[in-house]
Amino acid sequence: MIQHSISKNIFKILVLLSILAVNAQAINESDIAKQMQSKIDETTNLLKNKDIAFKDKTTQIFETFDSVFDYSSMSRIALGKQWRKLSTKQKKSFEKIFTLKLKQSYVDKLNLYTDEKVKIEKVEKIKRNRIKLYTKLIGQEEIYDIVYKFHKSKKNNDWLIYDVEMIGVSIMKTYRNQFKEFLSTKTFDNLLAKLKTKTQ
C-alpha cells in the first residue's frame, strides 16, 4: 500500500500555492514573480468566499490548472528509472492517472485552507532553463518556506512548474521514493491499479 508521507499541513500549503500558480496562465521569465504575486489576493478571496460552492471553486481552479504545471515531466520524475522501461502506451496511461491523482490531492485538501497568506521572496535563475521561485506561506502560528521549481518548455518557451519543494521536501522526490519502494515488490500494472483505486 502506498503511504503518502506529507502531512496535512503540507498538503494545505500545496493546495494554496498550486492554485496561486495555475491562475498565472502562461508565464514568461521576467513576469514570474509579478504574475504570481498579482494572483494571490484573487485566489485567497476565492478560498475565503463562502458564497461560492465547493464544486464551483474546483471548476474555476481546473479551468486554468493545466497552463502552468508540466504533468509530463512530473510523471517522468515521479517514476525515475522505471520510466525508461515503459512502452509509449504505459507512459501515457501513467501520466493520465498520475495527473488525476495530483489534481485530486489538491481538491481533497482545499477545505483545509483558513487564512494563510503568501509572500513572494525572490526569483533565482539557477541554470539557463531552470528557475526557482522562493515564497513564504504565513499562517497564524507558523511560517513555511516554499520553493517552486520552473523549467523552460521546449514547446513554446513558457516557464512551467515541474516540482514544488516545501520546507526542504520535494513533492516529486517523495512520490518517486514511494513508487520505487512499491515497484521493488510489485509490478507496474499493480501500481496503475493502486493509483486508479485512489482516484475513483
Residue 26, domain CATH = 3.10.450.710
DSSP 186: S
**Percent of the chain beyond pLDDT 70?**
74
Asked if residue 33 belongs to a domain, the reply is yes
Mean pLDDT value across residues 48-66: 73
Residues sharing a CB contact under 8 Å with residue 170, sequence separation 6 or more, in sequence order = 163, 164
> What was the pLDDT predicted at 30?
75
- The angle subtended at Cα 121 by Cα 116 and Cα 126, nearest 5°, is 130
Asked if residue 14 belongs to a domain, the reply is yes
Q: What separation in angstroms does the CA of 2 have from each of 43, 62, 92, 142, 177?
A: 31, 26, 21, 29, 10
Asked if residue 30 belongs to a domain, the reply is yes
Asked if residue 165 belongs to a domain, the reply is yes
Structure confidence at residue 89 as a pLDDT band (50, 70, 90): very high
Which one is predicted more confidently, 84 or 102?
Answer: 84
Evaluate whether 46 touches 57 at the Cβ level (below 8 Å): yes
Q: How many CB atoms lie within 10 A of CB 101?
A: 17
Mean pLDDT, the chain, whole residue set? 80
Asked if residue 13 belongs to a domain, the reply is yes
- The reply to whether the predicted model has a pTM over 0.85 is no
Q: What is the DSSP string of 11-49?
A: HHHHHHHHHHHHTT-S--GGGHHHHHHHTHHHHHHHHH-
Structure confidence at residue 6 as a pLDDT band (50, 70, 90): very low
Evaluate whether 124 touches 131 at the Cβ level (below 8 Å): yes
Asked if residue 1 belongs to a domain, the reply is no
Count: domains in the chain: 1
Domain, as residue range, for 128: 8-198
Structure confidence at residue 97 as a pLDDT band (50, 70, 90): very high
Note the pLDDT tens digit of each residue in 155-179: 777 888 899 898 888 999 999 999 9
> What was the pLDDT predicted at 108?
67
> What was the pLDDT predicted at 150?
92
